[in-house]
Amino acid sequence: MEPIPERVAVGRVRGLHGLRGAVRVEVLTDRPEERFAPGARVMAGERILTVLESAVDGPGLRVRFREVSDRTAAESLRDLDLEVEVDPGRDLEPGAVFWHELVGVRVTDRDGRDLGVVRDVYRAGGAEIVSVGGGVVRAFEMPVVRSFVIAWTPREGSIVVDADALDLEVEAPRPPARPHRERARGADVREGEA
């Protein structure tokens, strides 16, 4: 049975450039030179766009598409994800996963203590950062690097980290809710009465 391709975001249109339809793209892929090469195709919603040209533009790319000829047409792309169809078995190195596959994965320490689940993933500098929350420690962010990650099996639903190296702060227990006492409507409560 042929694997069903899935769509993943490889960029996000963050702004416009000039009058000829160029857009500024935040890069969300490890292979921008391939994904945004002339002739490559991306999807913006249901529209298929063909890359005409691309160039480095600050931290991202400046891209023109064959189907977008002017600034007015480019405006419709603002804040849209640019996606491609991928086959995880073919498009990823062994052990690698797409960012969206990490969201919801359980994170524990080497003793099995529940540190929470991955809530978000983003890139800062050259590292991917996971944002983790909902466990016995305060929410934290962690670069996905060998010095913190002990076991990496997100497709099996688990990431094991070195909590000591992360210097995680245990969440303070919340005091139990105080019981609510109802008063009779119109009752007059005096000092010393409750």
Q: Does residue 180 lie within any of the structural domains?
A: no
Which of 65, 88, 111 is the last residue in one of the domains? 88
Q: Which of 64, 88, 112 marks a domain boundary? A: 88
Instruction: Give the count of domains, the chain.
Output: 2
Q: Which amino acid is at 6?
A: E
Give residues with Cβ within 8 angstroms of 127, minimum separation 6: 143, 144, 145
Q: CA-CA distance, 141 to 145, in Å (whole number)?
A: 12
Per-residue tens of pLDDT for the chain, all 194 residues: 555 667 888 899 999 998 888 999 999 888 899 999 999 999 998 899 999 999 998 888 999 999 999 999 999 999 999 998 887 666 677 777 778 888 999 999 988 999 999 999 888 777 889 999 998 888 999 999 888 999 988 888 999 999 889 988 766 556 666 665 554 444 444 444 44
Q: Residue 68: enclosing H or E segment and its boundaries?
A: none
Give which of 7, 10, 16 is closest to 76, Cα–Cα.
16
- Entry pTM: 0.60
* pLDDT given for residue 4 in this prediction: 61
CB of 49 closer than 8 Å to CB of 42? yes
Shared domain for 19 and 61, answered yes or no, is yes
Instruction: Tell me whether residue 68 is in a domain.
Output: yes
Residue written as tokens 């009058």?
A: 19
Spatial separation of the C-alpha atoms in residues 48 and 41, rounded to whole Å: 7
Q: Are both 81 and 104 inside the same structural domain?
A: no
109 and 67 within one domain: no
Residue 187 belongs to a domain: no
How far is Cα 92 from Cα 111, in angstroms, rounded to an integer? 30
- Domain identity same for 76 and 118: no
* C-alpha 176 chain-centroid distance: 34
Asked if the structure places residue 188 within a domain, the reply is no
The count of other CB atoms within 10 Å of the CB of residue 40 is 16
Confirm whether 135 is domain-assigned. Answer: yes
Report the alpha-carbon distance of residue 149 to residue 110 in Å, rounded: 10
Contact 47, 41 (CB under 8 A): no
Q: Is 44 found in the same domain as 11?
A: yes
Are 84 and 103 in a shared domain?
no
The answer to the question of residue 23 being in a domain is yes
CB atoms within 10 A of CB 97: 15
User: Domain of 72?
Assistant: 6-88
CATH of the domain at 153: 2.30.30.240
Both 23 and 80 in a single domain?
yes
Looking at the structure, do residues 161 and 131 belong to the same domain, yes or no? Answer: yes
Residues 83 and 103 in one domain: no
Separation of CA 83 from chain center:
14
Residue 40 belongs to domain with CATH number: 2.40.30.60
User: Is residue 173 domain-resident?
Assistant: no
- Within a domain: 61: yes
Asked if 28 and 12 count as a contact pair (C-beta separation under 8 A), the reply is yes
